[in-house]
Amino acid sequence: MITRFFLENFKDQIDFIIKIFEDLPINLRLIKSNLSAEQYIAKGFEISTFIFIFLQLSLIYLISLITGNLMFGITSSLIISTLTSVGFFFIYLKIPSLKLSSLQSKIEKEMYHYIPVFSAFISDKTPLEESIKSFVTANPDLKLSKELDEIYKMVKFGGLDIVTAIDKKIEVTPSKKLRDFLFGLLTIIKTGGSLKEYVKKVTEDEIEEYKNKIRESSRKLTLFFEIYLISLVIGSLFLIIITSVFSLVQPIPNLLEMQFLIVFFLIPLVSIAMSKLLESLIP
C-alpha cells in the first residue's frame, strides 16, 4: 500500500530517477526481478522513509539524553537520518547492477569449466534441446545450467522451435559471453553447419582463454603477495622492533598494548582481507 502511494504521488520523481539510472530497467530484467523499475524505485522510497523515521526518533532521544540539549538532538538526528536514508537509497539503486555483475561473473567462470563438458553432450544427430536437457540433468546446480534450461523449457513446454527459443534467450541472458555463445549456436543452426564442430572450437577457445587468465592471475598473485610480505609482515616486525628500541631511550605510553593490537588484531585482519583479495583473483 505504501509502495503504491509513492507510485501514484511521486511519478515525476521516479521517471527522473529512471532517466539518470537508465540501466536500471535492463538490469532488473536481466536479474529476473519481479518488480518493474518504477516499482523498485517506489520500494526504495518506502524503505528509505522507514529508515529516516526510525533513526530520527531514536537519535533525538539518544543524543538529547547524552548531551542534555533537545535542540542539538533534533538538529543532529535530522542531519544523520537524512544522510543515512539518502545514502541507503543510492546504494539500493545500485543493488541490481551489483547482482547482475555477480551473476555474469559466476556464469562466465562456469563457462570456462563446463563448455568443454557441454561439448560431450552435443551431437549432430541429436536435437540441441535434448543435448541441453542431458547437460542440465547432469549439472543441475550451475547458473549456466539454469540459463540453458530455460531454452529447453521454451521448446518442450512453450511450443517454440529451437531457433526462436535461443533468440528469445539471447535477449535476456545476463552474460555477454553466454550471449555470444548462444548467438553462435543460432547462426550454425540457421546455416546448417555442424554444432559439434562449433562447440569444439568454442571449447578450444575457452581453454586457451582460461590458460591466459591463469597466467595473468599468477603474476598478480605474486605481486600482491610480495606487497603483503613487505608492507605487513616485515613492516609490522620493523615497527615493533623500532618502538621497543625507542622505549629504552624514552618510555612510550601503552607500548605493550599497542604491540599486542598490531600482532593479534591488525596482522590477522589484514591477512584475512588479503586472502579474500587473492581468492577473487583466481579465475
Q: How far apart are the first and last CA of the chain?
A: 45
Cβ pair 3, 39 in contact under 8 A: yes
| Residue indicated by cell numbers 582481507 | 273
**Number of compact structural domains in the chain:** 3
pLDDT exceeds cutoff 80 at 239: no
Predicted pLDDT at 41: 92
**What's the rounded mean pLDDT across residues 117-144?**
87
Domain range holding 143? 106-208
Same domain, 185 and 265: no
Share of the chain above pLDDT 70, in %: 87
- Asked if residue 201 and residue 217 are part of one domain, the reply reads no
Taking alpha carbons only, the member of 56, 117, 120 closest to residue 85 is 56
pLDDT at position 237 over 80: no
Whether residue 139 is found in the same domain as residue 230? no
Burial 216-255 (b: 16+ CB within 10 A, else e): eeeeeeeeeeeebeeebeeebeeeeeeeeeeeeeeeeeee
The residue out of 157, 178, 208 marking a domain boundary is 208
500500500: which residue's cell? 1
Q: Is the pLDDT of residue 79 over 80?
A: yes
Does one domain contain both 228 and 271?
yes
Entry pTM: 0.69
Residues 202 and 130 in one domain: yes
**In the prediction, which pLDDT does 58 show?**
86
- Are 132 and 148 in contact by the 8 Å Cβ rule? The answer is yes
Q: Which of 155, 177, 208 is the last residue of a domain?
A: 208
Same domain membership, residue 277 and residue 235: yes
pLDDT bracket for residue 112 (50, 70, 90): confident
pLDDT at 278: 66
Query: Do residue 119 and residue 166 come from a single domain?
Result: yes
What mean pLDDT do residues 165-184 have?
A: 89
142 shares a domain with 50: no
Instruction: Examine the domain organization and report whether 64 and 24 are in the same domain.
Output: yes
The predicted structure's pLDDT at residue 279? 67
Cα dist from 34 to 39, 47, 154, whole Å: 9, 17, 19
Mark whether 139 and 200 lie in a shared domain.
yes
Q: Identify whether residues 93 and 179 lie together within a single domain.
A: no
Please, what sign has the CA dihedral across residues 208, 187, 120, 129? positive
Is pLDDT above 80 for 188? yes
Do 92 and 174 fall within a single domain? no
Query: Around Cβ 138, how many Cβ atoms within 10 Å?
Result: 14
pLDDT (average), residues 132-154: 90
Determine the Cα–Cα distance for residues 131 and 123; give it in Å rounded to an integer.
8
39 CB-side CA count, 13 A: 7
Domain boundary among 178, 208, 238: 208
Task: Render pLDDT for 16-75 as a digit per residue (tens, 0 to 9).
Answer: 999 988 889 988 988 888 888 999 999 999 999 999 999 888 888 887 777 777 787 788
